[in-house]
């Protein structure tokens, strides 16, 4: 199996931001030393999640501090970026990292409308903005010059320089949940990542993705590569005992959810409400913590002693998961606590699944 490391931790106060950013750099470098194959960065603004905010600038710092590990985005919120500037920044990152960039793309969070408002936007046209930006970026990496006339952008681009190391450009990943999205990404030959997918649904979704790859007419090498890299995101917390892990992770998730609900209530505009179809027990403010936290533990988390976590990873492997993204920091988790859990996972869990 292949193991990635993912950060979505919280800086609880502005005066802690600088120290927390330093901690995340150290954690990413530790992930490389422990043998994680990739590190993944999230993008959020204004309220302390993803404390570095600008994941592309942070990725440049990591590119200079690491040598082997791939650097991914889970995900770039596309409406917040001009596509030509983003295409140029990603091409430069690919050069700085010597071809180690993976780009997850998304239309922006469906819960944090305040992030759109803070960028002078609303989310109502976010999918259309994302699709147009993706089209521009892909074509800009392939075509020179490029004339483009779209709904949001009219452009004439002589060329993107420097050219990406990976040709025609860094892989563009999609975050998927529904069966239709798995199939469509398979048809397009697009690498995928998914989160909070119950174990009993994983084999079915992976089979749907494989069927889409076949429908798209991709060759065997492409099929094998896509299935090997398809990534599942899980909370991962390894402690000395199962009881300790459950108690500590539950408390951290409770702090995370309290912050999440507070900032949405405080900053989302009064005319905004998320689509009810996007809500689940973790994201629905009407669901009490007494139900939400067990739901997150059950559907999105691997936790316990090293022995128990090895069993949980084996269960995922046995239903077809070959690439696991491990979120090891939750809420305002202490740096030393994060490193200790990462080391237990890297030294006592990952070797059992070495190729």
The string of pLDDT tens digits covering residues 226-276 is 999 999 999 999 999 999 999 999 999 999 999 999 999 999 999 999 999
Note down the domain range covering 333.
2-353
222 and 213 Cβ atoms separated by less than 8 Å: yes
Write down the pLDDT at residue 108.
95
Domain count, the chain: 1
Residue-level pLDDT at 132: 98
The reported pLDDT for the residue numbered 342 is: 98
- pLDDT at position 196, please? 79
Q: What is the pTM of this model?
A: 0.97
The number of C-alpha atoms within 13 Å of 198 and in the hemisphere containing its C-beta is 5
Q: What is the pLDDT along the chain (355 residues), one digit of tens a residue?
A: 999 999 998 999 999 999 999 999 999 999 999 999 999 999 999 999 999 999 999 999 999 999 999 999 999 999 999 999 999 999 999 999 999 999 999 999 999 999 999 999 999 999 999 999 999 999 999 999 999 999 999 999 999 999 999 999 999 999 999 999 999 999 999 999 999 788 999 999 999 999 999 999 999 999 999 999 999 999 999 999 999 999 999 999 999 999 999 999 999 999 999 999 999 999 999 999 999 999 999 999 999 999 999 999 999 999 999 999 999 999 899 999 999 999 999 999 999 999 6
pLDDT, position 224: 96
pLDDT at position 154: 98
Among residues 84, 41, 85, the alpha carbon closest in space to that of 59 is found at 41
Which CATH number belongs to the domain containing residue 266 in this structure?
3.20.20.30
Per-residue CA distances from 45 to 81, 296, 318 (Å): 13, 23, 37
């Amino acid at each position: 199996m292949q193991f990635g490391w993912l950060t979505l931790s919280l800086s609880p106060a502005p005066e802690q931001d600088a120290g927390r950013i330093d901690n995340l750099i150290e954690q990413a470098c530790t992930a490389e030393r422990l043998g994680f194959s990739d590190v993944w960065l999230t993008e959020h603004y204004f309220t302390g999640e993803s404390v570095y905010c600008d994941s592309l600038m942070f990725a440049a710092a990591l590119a200079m501090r690491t040598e082997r590990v791939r650097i991914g985005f889970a995900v770039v919120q596309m409406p917040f970026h001009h596509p030509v500037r983003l295409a140029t920044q990603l091409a430069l990152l690919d050069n700085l990292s010597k071809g180690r960039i993976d780009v997850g793309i998304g239309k922006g969070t469906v819960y944090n409308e305040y992030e759109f408002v803070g960028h002078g936007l609303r989310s109502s046209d976010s999918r259309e903005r994302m699709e147009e930006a993706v089209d521009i970026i892909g074509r800009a990496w392939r075509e020179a010059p490029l004339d483009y006339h779209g709904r949001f952008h009219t452009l004439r681009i002589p060329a993107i320089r420097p050219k990406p190391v990976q040709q025609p450009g860094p892989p563009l990943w999609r975050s998927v949940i529904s069966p239709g999205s798995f199939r469509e990404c398979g048809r397009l030959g697009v690498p995928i990542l998914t989160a909070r997918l119950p174990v009993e649904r994983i084999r079915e979704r992976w089979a749907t993705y494989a069927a889409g790859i076949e429908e798209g007419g991709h060759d065997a090498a492409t099929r094998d590569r896509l299935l090997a890299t398809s990534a599942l995101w899980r909370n991962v917390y390894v402690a000395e005992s199962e009881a300790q892990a459950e108690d500590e992770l539950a408390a951290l998730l409770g702090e995370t959810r309290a912050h999440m609900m507070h900032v949405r209530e405080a900053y989302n505009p009064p005319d905004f409400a998320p689509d009810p179809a996007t809500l689940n027990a973790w994201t629905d403010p009407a669901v009490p913590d007494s139900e939400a936290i067990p739901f997150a533990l059950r559907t999105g988390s691997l936790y316990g002693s090293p022995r128990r976590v090895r069993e949980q990873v084996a269960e995922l492997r046995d239903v077809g998961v070959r690439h696991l993204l491990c979120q090891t920091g939750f809420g305002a988790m202490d740096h030393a606590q994060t490193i200790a859990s990462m080391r237990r996972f890297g030294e006592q869990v990952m070797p059992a699944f070495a190729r």
